[in-house]
Structures are given as C-alpha cells and as structure tokens.
Chain A
C-alpha cells in the first residue's frame, strides 16, 4: 500500500526524507498529487509495512507534517 505524506514547507519534506531513509523506509519525493493538497509542491511517497510507525518517527524528530494519505491502488 502506498501513502503520501504532505508538508507545509519543502524544508520538512527534506527533513522527513533524511529521517526516514536511514530507518530503511523506501521514500520517494513526488509532486504533491493535486487531489490531496497543495500545501507544499513536494510530497513524500512511502510504502511502509507499519504506517503508524512512520508518523511516530517524524513526530518524535520534530518534523512537521500536514497530512498522511492512502493512495488508491490504481494511482
């Protein structure tokens, strides 16, 4: 299952990427899908086994997020 994490600023998208990569989480920077939000033009696509853990890691490291969206299978 793919998820998209959104941020208010690209600063936090970069921060999230830097935090999550060493945790062995597969991350990919993508242009924020228009139907989700346009907070910041860049979002992070992740494919976690445990989605709740990702949000917890980011929160604990002071990385501000604005949304966590499940992507439909065909998207």
Chain B
C-alpha cells in the first residue's frame, strides 16, 4: 500500500479531467491569450475566461473580472499586503499565520515601519476574540487572517472577523490556501475584500496556479507591471481588472487545468466535500485519541477543523516518525515546522515541530486504518 496524506502541501491525485484539459490545450490549442486575435489565441482567451468564471462561482465573487490569476497563494498574499500597506501603517493579524503572511508583514515592519498587531490564539489554535476586539484600532489599515490553519486545521472565525472589518471600514484579507475547495467560502457573505488561495491544494488543480479575489472597493497597487494586451499605446499600467494585476504571459496550461479542477470541485459540491472530510477527520481523531504515547494538537473536533491534523509521538523526533512512515510503510506525511513558526509557538511545538497528517478528497477509511496500524507499531 502506498498512501498519500500530505494534501495540505499539495493534493494528490488530481481528477483525470485536469490533465486531459491541460493536454488538450498543449497539443491542440497552444496560443497565447489576449494578445493576438487568431483562432488559437481566441481559443486560449476563451479557456482563460471560462476558468475565471468557474473560480468566481467557487468563491461567490460578483464578477469574474475580480479574479486575478497568480502563481500561488503566496503571490496573491504578497500582492495584497504590499499593495495596500505603506509607510507607518497598522495591520492586525493572528498568531496562527503561515510565513506567506508573516514574512511580507515582517518585511514591511522593518523597511516601512509598519506596525504589526498580532491577535493571540489559544494552544488549540483558536482565536482569542477579546484580544481581536482590543487589537483592531482606529488607525488599522488592514486585517489579514488565515481561514484555516495549515498546521492544525483550525477553522478561524472568518465571518465574525469580516463583520468587525466591515463595521470599522477596514479592508479584510483572507489567506484561503487551506480553505478554498475544502470548506464553503463566500466572499460576499463573509465581507472578504481580498481572498488569496492556491490552485493546487483543495481546488485540486496543478501546481504553479493560484488566485487573488479583489473586491469592488479595493484599490491595490500592482505587484508587477508590464504587457497586458490592452491599452498598448500607453506606457502606464491599465487601471481596470483583471488586466491591472496580470502583466506578462500567464501560466496558460496551468490556468486551463485549474478551470477543469474547479469544475470537478463544483460538480462534487464543496458542501459534500466538506461532509466527507469531516467524517474521515472525526474517525481519525477518535482513533488517535484512544492511542497511547500520542500527543494530538489542535481543536480535536471535526466540526472546528478541517482534515489537517498534527501529532507527535512521545519522546520521538517528528522527522524520525515521518521518515519511518515513508521508508517502512509508504505513507507520505509532512514533519517538522510547516512554514509557520508563529503557529508552532502558539500551539507549543516550536522548534520541535509536528507530524502533519492531511487528508484529501480521494482518501478512504482504509487509508486511515493503515496509517493507524503503522502509528501503533511506531508508538509502542
């Protein structure tokens, strides 16, 4: 048996339709998009348009021109953070963030004197709401929070945070890397102004794809400038979406695959995907809880988390467990620090790290039973 449980890093396998769409583009279409107007270019432009339309449906965006293609969630987060914050601004974030949020913020803190206010979270990775209300100040220019922790899978109170942001008229940026395609996301209902996510995790698309949703009232400084196929007589960057933020030839084959992936996710239904994930998570958590010599981090409640579970075996190094699982049992997990030192400090696993088990849409109970047998053998 060969079992893949590292879906929080990237999902595997992908739906067959994703590779089919990519192959069809690569072999039979091949043109660039938005640049020329010959048949191959027109077909590529149609495919990009359709992909954008599917993604808009997935996150409930009003218009698909508000969806910007990026190379990953990190690029979207950087575009949003660097595009909004300036000299001396104040930003609120949480102590469960990934480095794709913390690093651009720490950079701005050092280079531009941006004040970074961090809302405390509990050892289970849950937001301290009183601290949240305290930290959001009159001069806060941005609230940025992850929707789901990449270390322990905690589902953060995005809806309530969005309400605070709306009440106080502060732009709200959400890191949806571990949420989109996994739990239902609705940018309008949750008052999300900016939503960055990757195409290759819960969305089941190819690596090198991601999106940034930009709400109507948000004026973002572009991260990059260049050719867009539009306003070609001007040397100034266009100021309309999506062109404003999409300079240079994009990852067309990836965008085509992403469109097919989103179609698959919408056909399954995110509600159904979530239900299935919750059932497997509840089963796994229950079994892990009954095991000796095991420490489980996070909410330990399938209603409050996704299928990302961090554990450790007492007196064992997390990297050693990961190595044994791979070499002896052909089980793929991630071990160590999951690019989120602040989250590890919050849950008390810095610098030791954890063994992260992350289930995907294609995992079964049989996979989990096999993992449990392996863990039992290693722990005793």
Given contacts A8-B240, A9-B243, A10-B33, contact A41 B229 (CB under 8 A): yes
Cross-interface CB contact of A8 among B42, B233, B238, cutoff 8 Å? B238
Cross-interface CB contact of B37 among A8, A15, A30, A62, cutoff 8 Å? A30
Please determine whether A42 and B232 come into contact, CB atoms closer than 8 angstroms.
no
Cross-interface CB contact of B49 among A14, A40, A41, cutoff 8 Å? A14
Task: For chain B, residues 206 to 249, give those with C-beta under 8 angstroms from any C-beta of chain A.
Answer: 228-233, 238, 240-243
Task: For chain A, residues 1 to 51, give those with C-beta under 8 angstroms from any C-beta of chain B.
Answer: 8-15, 17-18, 29-32, 38-43
Cross-interface CB contact of A38 among B34, B45, B232, cutoff 8 Å? B232
| Chain A residues near B64 (CB-CB < 8 A) | 11, 15
| Chain B residues near A31 (CB-CB < 8 A) | 36-37
Count, chain A residues at interface, CB 8 A: 22
Please determine whether A9 and B37 come into contact, CB atoms closer than 8 angstroms.
no
Binary CB contact string for chain B from 317 to 335 against chain A (1 if under 8 A, 0 otherwise)? 0000000000000000000
| Chain A residues near B229 (CB-CB < 8 A) | 10, 40-42
Binary CB contact string for chain A from 46 to 67 against chain B (1 if under 8 A, 0 otherwise)? 0000000000000000101000
Please determine whether A11 and B242 come into contact, CB atoms closer than 8 angstroms.
yes
Please determine whether A11 and B42 come into contact, CB atoms closer than 8 angstroms.
no
Please determine whether B36 and A8 come into contact, CB atoms closer than 8 angstroms.
no
Cross-interface CB contact of A41 among B48, B63, B232, cutoff 8 Å? B232
Minimal Cβ-Cβ distance residue in A for B47 = A14
Bound complex: CA A42 to CA B52 (Å): 18
- Residues of B contacting A: mostly: loop
Please determine whether A41 and B34 come into contact, CB atoms closer than 8 angstroms.
yes
Please determine whether A29 and B231 come into contact, CB atoms closer than 8 angstroms.
no
Minimum CB–CB distance from B56 to chain A (whole Å) comes to 11
Most B Cβ at <10 Å: residue of A13, A17, A18, A43: A13
Count of A-B residue pairs with CB < 8 Å: 68
- Residues of A contacting B: mostly: mixed
Judge if B168 is at the interface, Cβ distance under 8 Å: no
Interface size grouping (class) on chain B: 20 to 34
Given contacts A14-B45, A14-B49, A29-B42, contact A42 B37 (CB under 8 A): yes
Minimum CB–CB distance from A10 to chain B (whole Å) comes to 4
Bound complex: CA A64 to CA B63 (Å): 11
Please determine whether B35 and A9 come into contact, CB atoms closer than 8 angstroms.
no
Task: For chain B, residues 236 to 278, give those with C-beta under 8 angstroms from any C-beta of chain A.
Answer: 238, 240-243
| Chain A residues near B42 (CB-CB < 8 A) | 29, 42
Please determine whether B65 and A40 come into contact, CB atoms closer than 8 angstroms.
no
Minimum CB–CB distance from B250 to chain A (whole Å) comes to 12
Bound complex: CA A30 to CA B36 (Å): 9
Q: Which B residues are within 8 Å of any A CB, using their own CB?
A: 33-37, 42, 45-46, 48-49, 52, 63-65, 228-233, 238, 240-243
Given A29-B37, A39-B231, A42-B45: 19 more A-B contacts, CB < 8 Å: A8-B238, A8-B243, A9-B65, A11-B34, A11-B64, A14-B46, A15-B49, A15-B64, A17-B46, A18-B49, A29-B45, A31-B37, A40-B34, A40-B231, A41-B35, A41-B36, A41-B229, A41-B230, A42-B42
A to B CB contacts below 8 Å, 9 in the list? A9-B240, A11-B243, A14-B48, A14-B49, A15-B49, A17-B46, A40-B34, A41-B230, A43-B37
